Structure 1
Amino acid sequence: MAKKVYSFDEICRDIVAKKFLPVYVLMGEEPFFMDQITDLLIDNVLDESEKDFNQIIMYGADTDATSIINAARRFPMMSNYQLIVVREAQLVRDIELLSNYVKKPLSSTVLVINYKYKNLDRRKALAAAADTSGVLFESKKIPDYKMPAFIVSLMQQRSISIDMKASQMLSDFLGNDLSRLNKELDKLIILMPEKGLKRITPEMIEENIGISKEYNNFELIKALATKDILKANRIIQYFEKNSKNNPIQITLSVLFNYFSNLLICYYTKDRSETGLMTALGLRGTFQVKDYILGLKSYSAMKVFNLINEIRITDAKSKGVESNSISDADLLKELLYKILH
């Protein structure tokens, strides 16, 4: 069987269409996508009436390869399939022995192996066998700068629209913690009909999640892009008064991503809106405008130096040669260097 690289969307579409493969090896640093695929298989492979006899959930710390293989080689009872889910499979010490089954799996068994927070060695037998007989899916962390577009896409899958600024606010506040993001989005979705809303807005996020629509990292970048000193300082002062919801590490990450991307813009031949969007992998025109403005406000050498200053501030915020300087003072010092 020819190998195929399956995307998350392709896997989900096939599962919903009842096109099941005998083996799903799900691995990688991001548990969110693995959990989504596993839950989708649990919802679609078997009817509720078939699950008592044909669905087995196993845990890596409590099982071994031989037990998993023996379960997988059974035939379903009064059903076309049996579903076996191995959670926390990275704790199965002899997991490579599963390759003996995965090389020739039963078509009536759907075996799901959740190998979280790390990857199987692709050079070894299990990964190679899964890549041939089923799905070998690597669940990767989404880079912070791609999170706003991902949030929009995630909501589109649920047939719900979200304001681009609202998407950026969530991204800045939650980073790329997808499990936490999903919980916050579920909360907002439940509230939408109660408030008579058809779109998730910045006001809704401010009211229900506690992120200010005026004083946040998204607005800080806009202020820095135009060197709006007054607005930038007001935002930093707000962060100081509301430090719990505005930790310095998130702000530094946002600043690092912005100025790193701005440096890329200087090495991009096509500096048109479309050219910069392509170079930076952006999907929304609202994002690229801050880079176009930044190119006018900062020289390439200034940007290069600022990236180093952000790294130094990050180290100081973690206690490296900081002399007990507060996070607020570190941020004020960095802001001065950026704007002057």
Structure 2
Amino acid sequence: MSLKASFGDLETAIRKKRFEPVYFFYGQEEFLVEELIGLLKANVFRAADEVDLNYTQLYGHDHTLGDVVSSASEYPMFSEQRLVVVRAFDHLRKERTKEKQQAQLALFASYLKNPLASTVLVLAAAKLDKATLAKEPYPLLKEVSYEFAQIKDPGSFVLDRAKRFGWHLTPDAVKMLVSFVGTSARDLNTEVEKLALYAEGKAGEKTLTDKDVIQTVGLSREYNVFELEKAVASRDLRQASGMAMMILEQEGLKDGVFAIVNYFTMFFTRLWKLQMPSVRRMSQPDMAKELGMYGGQVYFLKEYMNYAERFSLGDIENALIALHEADLKLKGIDASDDEKLLVLTLIRKILSPNG
């Protein structure tokens, strides 16, 4: 039922101010619908003072189809156009009698055939099944329908979003980001934005790697390497082991082990550098640079300095050796068939090097 125009096509047309008189947006990816509504609001009006008088937002639970037609039929005030957005269009309040329902349906059909040129009408709904779409008033909207189903290629979506923030992600970074976050457009956009802010000020090419993803995106998950870091820094073997198992359960064995080993290799490498007298004499900005911390990462410098007091140089070197051994197993050089055992052994070696 939906038209084939992509999000990008719609976005381009709106930015060029080529507006349709009526849009029906629906589907699982409500985030994309919200983006388009925001884009319309930013482009329909020439000045901010036009918005207050000419932007109307209705909610389906509170209004009938007749209310929608009535609002869409109003003329703009001190502006060339009006924008009427109807949210939860799939939950419009119905009139009590079938006669009134049919009368409003006929009124709506008449409006769709001859919409007011000065009004941009946006009807927004959640995911709808085929049975629902076959019922009135949806067949009337066939020519103005745009479905936003779950994105089929999250990798391409991530690359496009990163480009908007001025960054490029390596293939491994894209793969890891998607494995951490999933395929939700809203979640992916949020994490890409966070990633871009986190890496602000990073020297060199504007390229983000899987290591950057591990450092940033992992911080937002329920069971994540950041929480595991706290348990390790507290030398709590039981909590660290349990947290690691939850990460493997949440992220999958392969991706979870990869994330843990890579993150803690970076973590203990930084602690090792902080043991060097030459580094400890540096100013905090120079120290952060030496540790490879940029933008928002600098916020965590004091935590790292605190963590460095909890581990001796020997502890850190033993941890790095254990991480190197785990990395060899991951790469198949010294293969291990049991990822859970590998991680539990790794954590025990890090926290109980003589145990």
**Counterpart residue type for residue 178 of structure 1:** A
Structure 1 residues 25 and 243 mapped into 2: Cα distance closer, same or farther (>3 Å)? farther
Residues 99 and 125, structure 1, Cα contact 8 Å, conserved in 2: no
Residues 79-108 of structure 1 show CA distances to partners (whole Å, capped at 9, x for unaligned) of 111001112222214498344432321111
Point out the structure with max Rg over C-alpha: 2
1:148 to 2:155 alignment: yes
Aligned residue among 161, 179, 182 for 1:172:
179
Give the structure 1 partner of residue 147 of structure 2: 138
Aligned residue among 95, 100, 113 for 1:103:
113
Pairs within 5 Å for 1:101-250: 101-119=111-129, 121-124=132-135, 126-132=137-143, 135-143=144-152, 146-196=153-203, 198-210=206-218, 241-248=243-250, 250=251
CA distance in 1 between partners of 2:145 and 2:203 (Å): 43
Tell me how far 1:54 sits from its aligned partner. 0.3
Residues 119 and 138, structure 1, Cα contact 8 Å, conserved in 2: no
Q: Give the TM-score taking structure 2 as reference length.
A: 0.56
Pairs within 5 Å for 1:10-49: 10-46=9-45, 47-49=47-49
**Counterpart residue type for residue 251 of structure 1:** G
CA distance in 2 between partners of 1:239 and 1:87 (Å): 46
Residues 26 and 146, structure 2, Cα contact 8 Å, conserved in 1: yes
Residues 25 and 130, structure 1, Cα contact 8 Å, conserved in 2: yes
CA distance in 2 between partners of 1:119 and 1:23 (Å): 21
CA distance in 1 between partners of 2:6 and 2:160 (Å): 15
CA distance in 1 between partners of 2:156 and 2:241 (Å): 25
Residues 119-160 of structure 1 show CA distances to partners (whole Å, capped at 9, x for unaligned) of 57444453343333xx310111124xx322321233234442
Gaps of 5+ in 1: 217-237, 255-327, 330-340
Give the structure 1 partner of residue 327 of structure 2: none
Give the structure 2 partner of residue 72 of structure 1: 72
CA distance in 1 between partners of 2:195 and 2:203 (Å): 12
1:251 to 2:252 alignment: yes
Identity of aligned residues (%): 27
**Counterpart residue type for residue 108 of structure 1:** S
Pairs within 5 Å for 1:266-277: none
Residues 192-250 of structure 1 show CA distances to partners (whole Å, capped at 9, x for unaligned) of 32334612221211222227xxxx9xxxxxxxxxxxxxxxxxxxxx99752444434x5
Give the structure 2 partner of residue 9 of structure 1: 8
Q: Stretches of 4+ moved more than 6 A in 1?
A: none
How many equivalent residue pairs? 227
Gaps of 5+ in 2: 95-100, 225-239, 256-339, 342-355
Structure 1 residues 93 and 63 mapped into 2: Cα distance closer, same or farther (>3 Å)? closer
Give the structure 1 partner of residue 229 of structure 2: none
CA distance in 1 between partners of 2:254 and 2:14 (Å): 36
Structure 1 residues 35 and 252 mapped into 2: Cα distance closer, same or farther (>3 Å)? farther
